[in-house]
Structure 1
Amino acid sequence: MLNWDFPQLFTLQRMPHQLDIDGLNHTNNAVYVQWCEMIGWAHSESLGLSLVDYKRLDRAMAIRHAEYDYLLPTNLGESLILGTWLTETDEKLSMRRRFQLIREADQAVIFRAQWDLVCIEISTGKARRMPPEFCEKYLSALTPKLT
């Protein structure tokens, strides 16, 4: 049992490849950010909201603020598990997505991140209320914080 920060997570297996490694022989920090985007979309799609749906609804959840905490390095070929959750919302305009990366071999937490997301109208870039489809699918996936 891995030490996840929240229950009911969505996960993806990751493994740094040669192109992910930087001059210090560690996984480049930008790779973790790309993995966050990858799992965010995968989670959204698993809930039934894809880029096609975003375009059809002329709405998107856009990153307003992001925080990344790099705790330990990873190396070429290490087996990692990336988890994500939707943890907070105002049920109208915004929500928070959190991330955690764990190395399988020693169960060490490598990385944590969070995005504060705001619903926008794609055609104008302006903040707009979440459409009913977003509320139905995203709000039903909210995970409460462990106490």
Structure 2
Amino acid sequence: MVWDYPNPFTLPAQPQVDDIDGLQHTNNAVYVQWCEKIGWAHSESLGLALADYQRLDRAMAIRRGEYDYLLPTGALEELTMATWLMATTSKLSMERRFQLVRNRDHATILRGRWDLVCIELSTGQPRRMPPEFCATYWPAGVVVSLPTSA
């Protein structure tokens, strides 16, 4: 696969017959659900699950989501969803990116990104990330190198 960033966390994905809409392709809402699924799976693989969020009274909530739907897919196509956390040292926010690729030809189907903000679950108010979040999420962040000018 040709990924936008190195070392993706990936999961297989496959639209089911019920995921196909009136235009005869995978409904866009299905892709959004896959983003949520892989986001949680990635967080859990790093060591932070929903139970940890509840115990710490903190969560990373989506402040903004953007999705670029590039190509359609049909029922039972084999796909791979990837996600990355982007490098940050912010104690309040972070960014997660997504890429969905069709396995047979490696075409990118979707790109997405979330701007996430840390909130206190009990109040819903923005709060600094607890040390556990920083220790887990910061090292997992991808550093994007900018092109150098000649």
- TM-score bracket, normalised by the shorter chain, equals over 0.9
Q: What CA deviation, in whole Å up to 9, does each residue of 1:96-121 have, x standing for no partner?
A: 00000000011100000000000000
Taking structure 1 as the reference length, what is the TM-score of the superposition? 0.97
Match of 2:60, as an amino acid? Answer: M
Cα pair 2:85 2:96 within 8 Å, conserved? yes
Change (3 A) 1:14 1:146: farther
Q: Which runs of 5+ in 2 are unaligned?
A: none
Q: Which residue of 1 aligns with 2:73?
A: 74
Aligned-residue CA RMSD (Å): 0.9
Deviation at 1:68, TM superposition (A): 0.5
Q: Which residue of 1 aligns with 2:40?
A: 41
Q: Which residue of 2 aligns with 1:141?
A: 140
Deviation at 1:24, TM superposition (A): 1.2
**1:46-57 alignment to 2 at 5 Å?**
46-57=45-56
* C-alpha distance in 1 between matches for 2:89 and 2:140: 14
**1:1-147 alignment to 2 at 5 Å?**
2-145=1-144, 147=146
Change (3 A) 1:5 1:131: same
* C-alpha distance in 2 between matches for 1:95 and 1:77: 33
* C-alpha distance in 2 between matches for 1:125 and 1:88: 25
Deviation at 1:145, TM superposition (A): 2.0
* C-alpha distance in 1 between matches for 2:6 and 2:145: 7
Cα pair 1:60 1:121 within 8 Å, conserved? yes
Match of 1:137, as an amino acid? Answer: T
Q: What CA deviation, in whole Å up to 9, does each residue of 1:59-96 have, x standing for no partner?
A: 00000011000000000110000000001424210000
Q: Which consecutive segments of 4 or more residues in structure 1 shift more than 6 A?
A: none
SS at match of 2:129: coil
Q: What CA deviation, in whole Å up to 9, does each residue of 1:32-71 have, x standing for no partner?
A: 0000000000000000000000000000000001100000
Match of 2:15, as an amino acid? Answer: P
What is the aligned-residue identity percentage?
Answer: 65
Q: Which runs of 5+ in 1 are unaligned?
A: none
Match of 1:54, as an amino acid? Answer: Y
